[in-house]
Every structure is written in structure tokens, then in C-alpha cells.
Structure 1
Amino acid sequence: MVKPYRKRIYAYECDLYGHLHNTNYLDILEAARSDALVDVGMPVQQLLDMGWHFYIRRVEMEFLQGVGVDDVVEVRSVPLELNKVRTHWKQELFNQAGELCFWAEIHVVHVFEGKPTRVTDEIWESFKRLTDS
């Protein structure tokens, strides 16, 4: 499992009911995946500089309970499938009481020059660290 990602929810991220706006869940998950790449030595900017892009192909998600202003949430991310062409993530968002509030499965394709492509050995060695316990 990747190191948990923690974040405080701010008022500007919430809807008029005081709940985290639905679209912001995906932003938080993106930040958690980006931090995971930093942690394994392959930050997003470095990948972009090398000409690599990571496109989300599919998202399945379920909202279980809301989170609101000043809540501190934790995202736990696990790569369910990791190969040189794609990554399938399971990400869960918990509130500060440890209750599961939201989950998503995200399918990402590794793209180079506009086409799904196997990542280089250098990138692959970094990605494999995502599955280290």
C-alpha cells in the first residue's frame, strides 16, 4: 500500500450544503496518486519532461457519506494491477473517525507520443515500488 495521503477540507471546496463538492473528490485522489509517484522517485513533472502522460480511462466511484469543512481526510491508495501499460488503482477516503466515506477504482493508461505505450525500465523500476509494503 502507498503511504496514506492526508488533507484538510476547506470551505471553498464545499458546496452550499457544507459538504465536499463531488468534483473535488477526484482532485484529492489525483493529489494522492501524484504524491505516491513523488514517494517512489518519479514525480509527475519528471514524467512529463520525459514525454509521458497518464490518462484516466475509467473511474468507478461510490459516495458513502459526506465530509465537510475542516474535516481531515485520509486517502489510502492501492495499485490493484500494475503493468508497463496501465495501472488500476483502488482509492478509499476516510474521515477523521476512520469511517470509509468514499471509494473509487481508477484505470490509468500510460501514454507516450499520444499512444498507449510500455513505460521504460527506469520508470517501471520506480512504479514497482508502489507495491512495496
Structure 2
Amino acid sequence: MVKPYRKRIYAYECDLYGHLHNTNYLDILEAARSDALVDVGMPVQQLLDMGWHFYIRRVEMEFIQGVRVDDVVEVRSVPLELKKVRTHWKQELFNQAGELCFWAEIHVVHVFEGKPTRVTDEIWESFKRLADS
């Protein structure tokens, strides 16, 4: 499991009922994956500077219970499958009571010059550290 990502939920992220707006769950998961890349020495900007892009190909998700304004949530991310052309993540979002509120499986494809491409050895070594963390 990658180091957990924690975040407070603010009012601007919530719908009129005070729940985290559905679209913001994916933003939080993206932030957690981005932080994971920073933690293994391969921040997103460095990847972009090298010409790499990572595009979400598929998402499966389930909303279990609502997250409300001022909740502090924790995302636990696990790379289920690391391949040189794609990655498959399981991400779970918990409230401050430790209750599972949401989960998603994210399938990502690695793209260089507009085409799915195997990552370089340098990037691959960083990715392997995700599995070891």
C-alpha cells in the first residue's frame, strides 16, 4: 500500500446537501496517486517534462456512504497491477472514524507521443517502488 493521503473536505467541494460532490471523489483520488508518484521520486511535472502522459482508461467505483463538509478523509491506494504500458489501482476513501465511504478501481494507460507506450527503465524503477511501499 502506498502512503495514505489525507485531506479535509471544504464547503466549496460539497453539494447543497453538505455532502462531498460526486465529481470531487475522482479529484481526490487523482491527488492521492500524484502524491504517490512524488513519494517514489517521479512527480507528475517531471513525467510531463519527459513527454509522458497517463490517461485514465476505465474507472469502476462504488459510493458506500456520504462524506460531509469538514470531514478529514484518508485515501489508501494499492497498485493491483503494474505493467510497463498500464497500471491498475485500487483506491479506498475512509472517513475519520475509519469507515469505508467509497472505493474505485482505476485503469491507467501510459502514453508517449500520443500512443500507448512502454515506460522507460527509469520510470519503471520508480513504479516498482510503488509496489514495494
Q: TM-score range by the shorter chain?
A: over 0.9
Structure 1: 5+ residue stretches without partners: none
TM-aligned CA deviation for residue 97 of structure 1: 0.2
**Structure 2: how far apart are the matches of 1:127 and 1:71?**
31
**Structure 1: how far apart are the matches of 2:69 and 2:56?**
28
May I ask how many residue pairs the two structures share in their alignment?
Answer: 133
**Structure 2: how far apart are the matches of 1:114 and 1:91?**
27
Q: Secondary structure at the match of 2:80?
A: strand
TM-aligned CA deviation for residue 26 of structure 1: 0.2
**Structure 2: how far apart are the matches of 1:114 and 1:106?**
20
Task: Name the counterpart of 2:74.
Answer: 74
TM-score normalised to structure 1 length: 0.99
After superposition, the CA RMSD in angstroms is: 0.4
**Structure 1: how far apart are the matches of 2:72 and 2:111?**
34
**Structure 1: how far apart are the matches of 2:50 and 2:132?**
24
Q: Deviations over 1:31-85 (max 9, x none)?
A: 0000000000000000000000000000000000001110000000000000100
TM-score normalised to structure 2 length: 0.99
- What percentage of residue pairs aligned between the two structures are identical? 97
Structure 2: 5+ residue stretches without partners: none
Q: Secondary structure at the match of 2:97?
A: coil
